[in-house]
């Protein structure tokens, strides 16, 4: 069931979203060559504590996972697409990091992700990341009253496929509110004009993921969480929490 949020609730979600943006900004600023993923997780955790917020990721235990998620940050490096578990791995020159983060504040959740390179970027990684960001922008632009979920999915998928990239099957965006994951699902590929009509007060996380090699396949790493591309190519991920309003889409996870 889709819960429509009041304008007051959307304003409250904006505050949770701001904490998410602050944490991701801190992670990006700290993520240099030689910095470990666990250190980045600690930096993100400090932002949560400072804001009086809590983590919807820490201890999250969906049916597909063998153990609860052990961190507040998902840190996915190179061929890891999403759900990367922070480890003692130290970032190397040229790595591509996708950082996904959530916060609970005042009873509301925010969820956002960024991808960026560390040290000297490879041109192909810059293009990959820019495509994920363009797909996110296209999805947000389609998140307007009168459209349907399929219009968002189609907008995202078109950008990713035109660039020649793969789209991981069965993973995409979601409704968000008091819980991090609510109805409806927001696929990263689909047919325009299909699916649930978009209404004022729907809040969704839009999150395109792209695979450089062009295939859609992925598998879980031995930790049971980190999803890696089947072809070993790199992946990028971009995400915002967005409120659909009569005045147009409102991004809740910007700074």
Instruction: Give the footprint of Mg ion on this chain (CB under 5 A).
Output: 100, 111, 113, 205, 207, 239
CB 112 within 8 A of CB 101: yes
Nearest CB to Mg ion, comparing residues 95 and 207: 207
From the CB of 120, what's the least distance to Mg ion, in Å?
A: 27
Q: Is the peptide bond before 184 cis (omega within 30 degrees of 0)?
A: yes
Distance separating alpha carbons of residues 146 and 12, to the nearest angstrom: 25
Nearest CB to Mg ion, comparing residues 41 and 100: 100
From the CB of 96, what's the least distance to Mg ion, in Å?
A: 17
Nearest CB to Mg ion, comparing residues 112 and 131: 112
From the CB of 181, what's the least distance to Mg ion, in Å?
A: 7
Nearest CB to Mg ion, comparing residues 125 and 207: 207
Distance separating alpha carbons of residues 178 and 93, to the nearest angstrom: 39
Outline where the chain has alpha helix (H). Answer: 7-30, 37-51, 123-141, 149-162
Grouping H, G, I as helix, E, B as strand and the rest as coil, residue 150 is: helix
Count Cβ neighbours within 10 Å for each residue of 80-105 and write b for 16 or more, e otherwise: bbbbbbbbeeebeeebbbbbbbbbbb
From the CB of 16, what's the least distance to Mg ion, in Å?
A: 13
From the CB of 33, what's the least distance to Mg ion, in Å?
A: 25
Nearest CB to Mg ion, comparing residues 123 and 243: 243
């Amino acid at each position: 069931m889709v819960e429509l949020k009041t304008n007051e609730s959307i304003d409250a979600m904006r505050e949770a979203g701001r904490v998410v943006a602050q944490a991701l900004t801190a992670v990006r600023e700290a993520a240099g060559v030689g910095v470990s993923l666990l250190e980045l997780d600690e930096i993100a955790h400090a932002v949560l504590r400072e804001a009086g917020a809590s983590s919807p990721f820490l201890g999250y235990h969906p049916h597909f996972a063998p153990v609860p998620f052990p961190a507040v940050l998902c840190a996915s490096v190179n061929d890891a697409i999403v759900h990367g578990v922070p480890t003692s791995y130290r970032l190397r020159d040229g790595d591509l990091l996708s950082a996904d983060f959530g916060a609970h504040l005042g009873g509301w959740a925010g969820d956002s992700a960024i991808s960026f390179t560390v040290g000297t970027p490879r041109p192909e990684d810059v293009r990959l990341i820019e495509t994920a960001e363009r797909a996110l922008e296209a999805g947000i632009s389609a998140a307007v009253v009168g459209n349907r979920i399929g219009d968002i999915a189609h907008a995202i998928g078109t950008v990713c496929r035109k660039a020649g990239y793969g789209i991981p099957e069965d993973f995409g965006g979601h409704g968000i509110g008091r819980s991090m994951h609510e109805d409806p699902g927001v696929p990263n590929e689909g047919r325009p004009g299909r699916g649930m009509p978009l209404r004022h007060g729907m809040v969704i996380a839009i999150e395109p993921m792209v695979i450089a090699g062009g295939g859609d396949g992925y598998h879980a790493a031995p930790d049971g969480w980190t999803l890696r591309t089947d072809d070993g190519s790199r992946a990028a991920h971009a995400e915002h929490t967005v409120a659909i309003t009569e005045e147009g889409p409102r991004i809740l996870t910007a700074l």
